[in-house]
Amino acid sequence: MPCDLILALDVPTRADAAPILRSLRGSLRWVKIGLQMFTACGPDCVREVADQGFQVFLDLKLHDIPHTVAKAVESLAPLPIGMLTLHTSGGREMMTAARAVQQQTKPDLLLLGVTVLTSMDAAALAEIGVPAAPDEQVARLARLATYAGLHGLVCSPLEVSLLRSQLPADVQLITPGIRPASEVGSDDQKRTLTPAEAARVGANYIVVGRPILKAKDPAAAARAILAELGWKG
């Protein structure tokens, strides 16, 4: 199966999301709900997106003490979600606790470990006391996540090849920081590739937001990206 597309539904309200989702029904499978939408609308927005036929990637980047994160996973398990993120920098104990609860409450849920945010470069890491280069830190956190039992990771597309050489083949790699060539470098994402480049290096999913959300025809923009990824519709 070719690399698949996830829409980052980074809009402020349900009213903003509704026409975009209507236009995209039948054009893509996955929608990512992040902190902006979840904070504004709560669990109802997850149910509404799922009710329209989309699979939901809930991107909350959980990061707390192990017990709290495990209880958060337990609380989220009844929602119709297929992916959920947590920060690998929370440590092995936190990830192991989350994984154990996920297996008990929602076995089909893919827990994704977030390594280094794509908005961060070496200078940003140094500011928070991490002397390693981004790719070194990503590899370290990715290995820790797989030791803890996670089978999916969120990383920059620039690190996909590195991770493919170090991790089990069944680890799913989800890559934000995807931009059409004409838009690379136009916003706060610093470590980017185009959709076709991300697919070639081994990403399982790419996450795209603004190039679809801001397009005059979001459905056409999504179909163009899917065609670049090798999907035929």
Residues 6+ positions from 143 with CB-CB distance below 8 Å: 166, 167
* Lowest-pLDDT range of 22-31, 149-158, 200-209, 224-233: 224-233
Among 32, 61, 71, 232, the one annotated catalytic: 61
Predicted confidence at residue 188, as pLDDT, reads 47
pLDDT for 93-132, tens place per residue? 999 999 999 999 999 999 999 999 878 889 999 999 999 9
pLDDT for 3-12, tens place per residue? 999 999 999 8
Domains of the chain: 4-229 (3.20.20.70)
* Predicted confidence (pLDDT) at residue 186 exceeds the cutoff of 60: no
Q: Report the chain's mean pLDDT, rounded to a whole number.
A: 91
* Predicted confidence (pLDDT) at residue 1 exceeds the cutoff of 90: no
Average of per-residue pLDDT across 189-208: 83
Which class for 213: exposed (0-12), middle (13-18), buried (19 or more C-beta within 10 A)?
middle
Predicted confidence at residue 181, as pLDDT, reads 55
Name the pTM for this structure: 0.92
pLDDT for 121-163, tens place per residue? 899 999 999 999 999 999 999 999 999 999 999 998 889 999 9
Residues 6+ positions from 190 with CB-CB distance below 8 Å: 118, 119, 120, 121, 177
The answer to whether residue 214 is catalytic is no
